[in-house]
Amino acid sequence: MSTAVVETEEHTALRSAVAALGKRYGRDYMTTVVREGRHPDTLWAEAAKLGYLGVNLPEEYGGGGGGIAELSIVLEELGAAGCPLLMMVVSPAICGTVIARFGTDAQKAAWLPGLADGSLTMAFGITEPDAGSNSHRITTTARRDGDDWLLTGRKVFISGVDIADATLVVGRTEDARTGRLKPCLFIVPRDAPGFQRSQIDMELQAPEKQFELVLDDVRLPSEALVGDEDAGLLQLFAGLNPERVMTAAFAVGMGRYAVNRAVEYAKERTVWKTPVGAHQAVAHPLAQAHIELELARLMMQKAARLYDEGDDLGAGEAANMAKYAAAEACVKAVDQAVHTLGGNGLTREYGLASLITAARVARIAPVSREMILNFVSHQSLGLPKSY
Ligand SMILES: Cc1cc2nc3c(=O)[nH]c(=O)nc-3n(C[C@H](O)[C@H](O)[C@H](O)COP(=O)(O)OP(=O)(O)OC[C@H]3O[C@@H](n4cnc5c(N)ncnc54)[C@H](O)[C@@H]3O)c2cc1C
């Protein structure tokens, strides 16, 4: 895709450099890592060493001093090469951003250099079994015990807890049990007593696993609280908007990968007189997928820019729209790519069928298609609420 009109020269250069790295690893690397039950540590370490993982983090803590615009380019290009790093969505994008914006100097010094150089990873846990899309209902509760906090609750579908050094857990303080969500964020080390995880058996072929978490009076020092216990939603959305932009990047990257594979195939595969790609019934849906991915990326660039310029409110709407557009474009692109390969679309060898499940993740997480449509109906269009 051509980018010159909407991207700076630096962005275009970053894009090609990351694309070159992605090409060296590619889909085969990811498939092997998954098959052998490993994690993409080598790619993670190399991306970190080249400054890509911490590109959004402050320079004084070893980051690149850029923003979500740059970080989303990195994830999109790795995805387009077939080797996306899902933990980028949570570790540098959510956790890095929240700590950089709201953490104490000690928290910044403890976490940001490691998140930037890839030696530390953080997971992020907000989803609960009884709250789901309705985060106002989360019940993970923090109560004071002397100077410490005791954190109790359950989380579900939390990605990468096994490999993350800590999980940034969204709870609420005890006196805010009811009413609107007054979230507070805690850094919970992986091996904290009372912090248990069990892997959920997902139908996904990805190196990052999802976990159910049980927090049973997990004792945390007062400095485990990130930011202000009353900062509330502002602080939370400081992390959630980058998450949405990054999910859009993940989806656009995957969609591009799928379309490219299908286009290569459609140029070669000949069962009548011409390659199948000459039939418009094959070509047009691929062209459509390409257009829709490009449009989704434009929205993603807008959201990233608004966020990086400090417009949290504007970024909120744009990030939701970008996540929606990218997920829908990705699901359609993957579906068409699989179809383009005929029977081969469903073989292990061609590796596209597993993307059918993977693409659906972007439609559900971190906020579902319906919740974005609700947001746009209410916030952008001013329509009344049904719930
Ligand atoms: C692979 C994967 C990785 C994930 N990683 C993380 C992670 O790292 N950290 C984390 O915190 N969470 C994570 N999640 C959880 C994810 O964010 C949730 O699955 C998502 O927010 C939806 O919540 P739910 O699954 O409880 O669905 P529910 O809230 O139960 O929704 C079920 C269905 O009902 C619809 N629905 C609900 N309410 C409404 C409404 N008011 N109007 C219309 N439709 C509605 C939804 O759109 C959905 O289709 C992950 C999920 C997956 C699948």
Structure confidence at residue 152 (pLDDT): 97
pLDDT at residue 2, as a whole number? 56
Higher model confidence: residue 5 or residue 235? 235
- Is the predicted pLDDT of residue 177 greater than 60, yes or no? no
pTM: 0.96
Q: What's the 243 CA to ligand 1 centre distance in angstroms? A: 14
Last residue of a domain, one of 183, 203, 226: 226
Q: How far is the CA of 126 from the centre of ligand 1 (A)?
A: 11
Contact between 329 and 251 under an 8 Å Cβ cutoff? The reply is: yes
> Is residue 12 lining ligand 1, measured as CB closer than 6 Å?
no
Q: Are residues 260 and 357 in the same domain?
A: yes
Q: pLDDT at position 84, please?
A: 98
Averaged pLDDT of the chain: 95
Task: Work out the pLDDT band at 23, boundaries 50, 70, 90.
Answer: very high
**CB of 368 closer than 6 A to ligand 1?**
yes
Mean pLDDT of 75-101: 97
pLDDT at residue 100 is higher than 70: yes
Q: Is the CB of 158 under 6 A from ligand 1?
A: yes
Looking at 67, 94, 120, the residue that finishes a domain is 120
Query: From the CB of 124, is ligand 1 less than 6 Å away?
Result: yes
Domain count for the chain, please give it: 3
User: Alpha-carbon distance 169 to 189, whole Å?
Assistant: 10
125 CB less than 6 Å from ligand 1? Answer: yes
302: pLDDT strictly greater than 90: yes
Q: How confident is the model at residue 175 (pLDDT cuts 50, 70, 90)?
A: low
What is the pLDDT, as a whole number, of residue 6? Answer: 82
Q: Kindly indicate the confidence band of residue 180, based on its pLDDT and cuts at 50, 70 and 90.
A: low
Query: What is the reported pLDDT for 324?
Result: 98
Residue 76 has pLDDT above 70, yes or no: yes
Is the Cβ atom of 141 under 6 angstroms away from ligand 1?
no
Provide the domain limits for residue 212.
123-226
pLDDT on residue 230:
72
- Our answer on whether the CB atom of 132 is closer than 6 Å to any ligand 1 atom is yes
Q: Does residue 182 register a pLDDT over 80?
A: no
| Ligand 1, pocket-test mutation among 87, 89, 133, most atoms within 8 A of CB | 133
* Lowest-pLDDT range of 24-38, 69-83, 176-190: 176-190
**Residue 304 sits in a domain of what CATH number?**
1.20.140.10
Shared domain check, 181 and 264: no
Q: How far apart are the first and last CA of the chain?
A: 41
Q: What percent of the chain has pLDDT over 90?
A: 90
Statement to judge: residues 238 and 375 lie in one domain:
yes
Sequence-distant (≥ 6) Cβ neighbours of residue 318 within 8 angstroms: 299, 302, 303, 306
Task: Examine the domain organization and report whether 212 and 260 are in the same domain.
Answer: no
Q: Which of 364, 371, 386, 387 to mutate to test the pocket of ligand 1 (most atoms within 8 A of CB)?
A: 364
Across 365-377, average pLDDT: 97
Decide whether any atom of ligand 1 lies within 6 Å of the 127 Cβ.
yes
